[in-house]
């Protein structure tokens, strides 16, 4: 019998992700403050409310001492969060190394690291070992807190081994795994030395979810081509055991943004921004400072636009919020310098004594400031080279009641499949095409803007994070029931 989402909302949900929705900052030997973590995964998970959920993950800091660990565990418990403590070496090899220097670029089609093959191969081995070890540490914490009947929902590329580790503990555990990045073509995945181990470990889950149908299809192809398993419309089958594979496009808590626009601090920010940028059109980019976000390409397109549209110079400003991320990974450090250099050059070329065309910030904004910025924006630029979904595009749309602004969106973001009809879709590698899209967006008639906005707004407000979570969990419950029925038959 199929139960509905409301019934599931009383079911305990253990949400396991590398990064907890809050990150910890140490204030003293036993005192901590917590702030909301950055990234799409957290933005969506914060919208999942109607479950009895516990979060298990890393708080983003190294806490070597017992006093600190105890105090942090207590502080996190108030937010229903349970920490997994990772030491510096594990963070270096697992998080900076295997997760963010190998899996992240590979899954976004940027390939494996190329410098010094031999060194890479050697460190690859130890990084992979650290990856398995870290996944086992997560499994230990989950196992400690697990109660019969709980649903365990594992998230993202950091935890591909977790389903396997959990099922080894307890084969009755209901385990789902969801990937927040793209899953690349099997031809890309097969370059990874540990390609088979990772696929097998994920297949230990009962249900495997992706943002789009294409990612799910790539995953199934990888399993059939690399492991020789059977791909069926339901998922992947091996010796009579089915792992269900499906697409579950994520959303945001749109109400949270819409309501925020009414509150006083946001209204104050909106006024300030309107005064500051009076007489100029506002263009906005909000990204983690990550190579997949295509920030250099976006800046070059804006430069080309200014080059070719001299009448717009001085009448438009690009506000680029670049949230620092994974700053210990050399590739991210190189990107930061590259972006700064391009911004400097463009401002030098097109700025005046009193105004510059690009305002670039290397930091995050608090929630009221972010909502206000979305609200005053005329054109948002989301030009990721690849992106699992990209929820900045959703957040922007939710806040656009005032302006009915235009979304320029990369066709390589998962969101292109849901917001494609309302946005102007671009190939972010094609600088000329993006420059032309900017001109088109700035000159678009109010009628066309309104029409496009409503298309996107309807989608964003009906496909929410809560609905996403309910659909996934309900499908996971059904999958397990069906598997039990199959065994009985």
Residues that bind ligand G6P (CB under 6 A): 19, 38-41, 156, 180-181, 325-326
Strands of 325-430 (E only): list them: 358-361, 379-382, 406-410, 424-426
Which of 19/298 has CB closer to ligand G6P? 19
Which of 329/460 has CB closer to ligand G6P? 329
Which of 292/476 has CB closer to ligand G6P? 292
Which of 180/200 has CB closer to ligand G6P? 180
Is there a contact between 348 and 342 (Cβ–Cβ < 8 Å)? no
Residues paired with residue 17 on neighbouring β-strands, in sequence order: 155
Which of 156/206 has CB closer to ligand G6P? 156
Minimum CB separation from ligand G6P for residue 250, in Å?
A: 10
Minimum CB separation from ligand G6P for residue 337, in Å?
A: 20
Minimum CB separation from ligand G6P for residue 100, in Å?
A: 6
Minimum CB separation from ligand G6P for residue 283, in Å?
A: 23
| Residue of 274, 250, 302, 258 whose CA lies nearest to 396 | 258
Minimum CB separation from ligand G6P for residue 39, in Å?
A: 3
User: % helix / strand / coil in the chain, to the nearest 5?
Assistant: 50, 20, 30
Which of 36/112 has CB closer to ligand G6P? 36
Alpha carbon distance 392, 326 (integer Å): 19
Minimum CB separation from ligand G6P for residue 316, in Å?
A: 29
Alpha carbon distance 80, 223 (integer Å): 36
Alpha carbon distance 23, 324 (integer Å): 14
Burial of 203 (0-12, 13-18, 19+ CB in 10 A): buried
Which of 44/406 has CB closer to ligand G6P? 44
Coil, helix or strand for 21?
Answer: coil
Residues paired with residue 323 on neighbouring β-strands, in sequence order: 288
Q: How far is CA 193 from CA 106, 125, 189, 200, 336, in A?
A: 12, 9, 9, 14, 29
End-to-end Cα separation, the chain, in angstroms: 17
Q: Which two tokens stand for residue 268?
A: 């104050």
- For the chain, how big is the Rg over CA atoms in Å? 23
Alpha carbon distance 41, 155 (integer Å): 8
Minimum CB separation from ligand G6P for residue 33, in Å?
A: 18
Sequence-ordered list of residues with C-beta below 8 angstroms from that of 312, at least 6 positions apart, any chain: 305, 306, 439, 442
Alpha carbon distance 58, 19 (integer Å): 5
Alpha carbon distance 77, 179 (integer Å): 26
- Distance of alpha carbon 172 from its chain centroid, rounded? 30
Which of 13/42 has CB closer to ligand G6P? 42
Alpha carbon distance 58, 71 (integer Å): 15
Is there a contact between 301 and 259 (Cβ–Cβ < 8 Å)? no
Minimum CB separation from ligand G6P for residue 210, in Å?
A: 12
Minimum CB separation from ligand G6P for residue 82, in Å?
A: 17
Which of 326/453 has CB closer to ligand G6P? 326
Minimum CB separation from ligand G6P for residue 290, in Å?
A: 8
Is there a contact between 473 and 153 (Cβ–Cβ < 8 Å)? yes
Residues paired with residue 246 on neighbouring β-strands, in sequence order: 209
Q: State which residue has the least CB distance to ligand G6P.
A: 39
Minimum CB separation from ligand G6P for residue 99, in Å?
A: 8
Backbone angles phi, psi at 291, to 5 degrees: -65, -20
């Amino acid at each position: 019998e199929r139960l509905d989402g409301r019934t599931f909302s009383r079911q305990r949900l253990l949400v396991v992700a590398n990064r907890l929705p809050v990150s910890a900052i140490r204030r003293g030997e036993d005192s901590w403050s917590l702030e909301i973590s950055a990234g799409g995964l957290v933005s969506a998970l914060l919208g999942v409310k109607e479950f009895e959920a516990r979060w298990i993950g890393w708080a983003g800091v190294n806490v070597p001492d017992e006093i600190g660990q105890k105090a942090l565990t207590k502080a996190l418990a108030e937010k229903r969060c349970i920490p997994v403590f990772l030491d510096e070496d594990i963070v270096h090899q697992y998080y900076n190394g295997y997760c963010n220097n190998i899996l992240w670029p590979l899954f976004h089609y940027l390939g494996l690291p190329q410098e010094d093959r031999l060194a890479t191969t050697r460190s690859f081995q130890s990084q992979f070992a650290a990856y398995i070890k870290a996944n086992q540490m997560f499994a230990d914490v989950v196992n400690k807190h697990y109660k019969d009947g709980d649903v365990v929902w594992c998230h993202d590329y950091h935890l591909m081994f977790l389903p396997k580790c959990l099922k080894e503990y307890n084969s009755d555990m209901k385990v789902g795994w969801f990937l927040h990045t793209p899953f690349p073509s099997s031809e890309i995945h097969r370059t990874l030395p540990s390609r088979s181990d990772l696929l097998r470990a994920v297949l230990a889950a009962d249900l495997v979810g992706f943002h789009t149908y294409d990612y799910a299809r790539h995953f199934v192809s990888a399993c059939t081509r690399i492991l020789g398993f059977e791909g069926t419309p339901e998922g992947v089958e091996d010796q009579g055991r089915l792992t269900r594979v499906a697409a579950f496009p994520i959303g945001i808590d749109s109400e949270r943004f819409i309501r925020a626009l009414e509150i006083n601090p946001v209204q104050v920010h909106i006024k300030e921004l309107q005064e500051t940028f009076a007489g100029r059109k506002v263009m906005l980019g909000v990204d983690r400072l990550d190579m997949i976000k295509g920030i250099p390409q976006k800046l070059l397109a804006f430069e080309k636009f200014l080059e070719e549209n001299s009448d717009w110079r001085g009448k438009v400003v690009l506000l680029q919020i670049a949230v620092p991320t994974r700053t210990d990974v050399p590739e991210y450090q190189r990107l930061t310098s590259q972006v700064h250099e391009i911004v400097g050059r463009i401002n030098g070329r097109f700025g005046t004594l009193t105004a510059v065309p690009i305002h670039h910030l290397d930091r995050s904004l608090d929630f009221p400031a972010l909502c206000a910025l979305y609200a005053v924006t005329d054109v948002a630029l989301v030009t990721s080279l690849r992106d699992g979904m990209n929820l900045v595009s959703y957040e922007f749309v939710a806040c656009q009641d005032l302006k009915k602004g235009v979304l320029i969106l990369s066709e390589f973001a998962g969101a292109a499949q849901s917001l494609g009809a309302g946005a102007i879709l671009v190939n972010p590698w094609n600088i000329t095409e993006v420059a032309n899209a900017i001109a088109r967006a700035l000159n678009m008639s109010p009628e066309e803007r309104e029409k496009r906005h409503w298309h996107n707004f309807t989608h964003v407000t009906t496909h929410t994070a809560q609905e996403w979570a309910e659909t996934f969990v309900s499908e996971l419950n059904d999958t397990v029931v069906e598997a039990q029925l199959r065994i009985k038959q």
